[in-house]
Amino acid sequence: MDNYDAFAPFYDTILGVRKERVVEFITPLLQKHAPKATSLLEIACGTGNIMGEYKDTYEVAGLDLSPCMIKVAKEKFPDVDVRVETMTEFDFGRSFDIIICLFDSINHLASFEEWEQTFASAHKHLNTGGILLFDMNTKAQFDRYRGRDPLGRQYGNDFVIMEEVDGENDMESYSNFKIFAQGDDGKYTMHEEHLRERTYPMAQVSASLDSLFSSVSIYTEKGKPVSDTTERLYFVCEK
Ligand SMILES: C[S@@+](CC[C@H](N)C(=O)[O-])C[C@H]1O[C@@H](n2cnc3c(N)ncnc32)[C@H](O)[C@@H]1O
């Protein structure tokens, strides 16, 4: 399991900026597939960036495995029910009209069995007619990552180096982050995060979802056709 705890204080500055693009893409899908929805749960919500964008539209809630990510989410959204739980097996004690899982969070799971456990837990927490919307990185995305040079960025007084390391096979991707953060005393401390993702063929994911949900639709960004070179797939699964 990837641990986002070291990342948590820096997550919003480094990766949170992506939320506008995601929200712009998924909002029409939510309106199309769940026009009457009133409640939304984000699983693997991290610091709550995406969930927070919907708090004026739906009654929102969130869960994440990382206590430090959830701590940040709680500070930002004190009135929202956010919990430390695993997406593979959670029990919220209630159901929702929409469940979302974004920014390739599902790729962090350790096996396809865990993907299927997540689908089943989400299905259990959906009202009839409710939807699960999630995205996943594909092999094409990992192929693109693999060729990348290490990346260095400055955020205020802090510095980040990100490098890709080859996985054990081409269905895995490893990213190492080194964050050099300046403390109040001006001194720098280095924080490291090692993230590992796994992916599975679209046909395998679709077949598993088809066995559970009444309908499954697949989307790509910018309306591109689904092909071997699609880097990110979005699934909308209706209960
Ligand atoms: C790339 S972040 C995405 C966070 C958020 N969805 C966003 O878009 O900003 C991936 C998140 O997945 C969480 N995560 C990884 N494995 C998990 C699991 N088994 N259950 C719940 N959350 C998990 C991590 O803690 C991290 O917060």
pLDDT digits (tens, 9 = 90+) for 116-154: 999 999 999 999 999 999 999 999 999 988 878 898 989
Per-residue model confidence (pLDDT) at position 2: 54
Provide the mean pLDDT of the chain. 93
Distance between Cα 139 and ligand 1 center (Å): 20
CATH number of the domain at 118, please.
3.40.50.150
CB-based contact 53:23 (threshold 8 Å): yes
Give pLDDT, residue 82: 98
Range in 31-35, 191-195, 211-215 the model is least confident about = 191-195
Whether residue 176 is contained in a domain is answered as: no
CB 153 within 8 A of CB 163: no
Atom in ligand 1 nearest the alpha carbon of residue 49: 9
User: Is residue 161 assigned to a domain?
Assistant: no
pLDDT of residue 116: 98
CA of 46 to the centre of ligand 1 (A): 5
Cα 96 → chain centroid: 18
Is 191 within the bounds of a domain?
no
**Residue 86 structural domain:** 8-139+199-238
pLDDT of residue 1: 44
In this structure, which residue's CA is closest to atom 13 in ligand 1? 44
CA of 110 to the centre of ligand 1 (A): 13
Q: Are 108 and 197 in contact (CB under 8 A)?
A: yes
| Residue 195 CA to ligand 1 centre (angstroms) | 11
Q: What share of the chain in percent tops pLDDT 90?
A: 73
In what order do the strands lie in the sheet containing 172-182?
Answer: 151-155, 158-166, 172-182, 188-198
CB 193 within 8 A of CB 207: no
CB distance 1 to ligand 1 below 6 Å: yes
Q: What is the pLDDT of residues 41-98, one digit of tens each?
A: 999 999 999 999 999 999 999 999 999 999 999 999 999 999 999 999 999 999 999 9
Q: How many CB atoms lie within 10 A of CB 150?
A: 10
Q: Is 54 a domain residue? A: yes
The verdict on residue 22 lying in a domain is yes
As separate numbers, helices (DSSP H) first and strands (DSSP E) second, the chain gives: 7, 11
27 in a structural domain = yes
User: Is 13 a domain residue?
Assistant: yes
Asked if residue 182 is part of any domain, the answer here is no
pLDDT class of 164 with cuts at 50, 70, 90:
confident
Number of domains in the chain: 1
Evaluate: CB of 102 within 6 angstroms of ligand 1.
yes
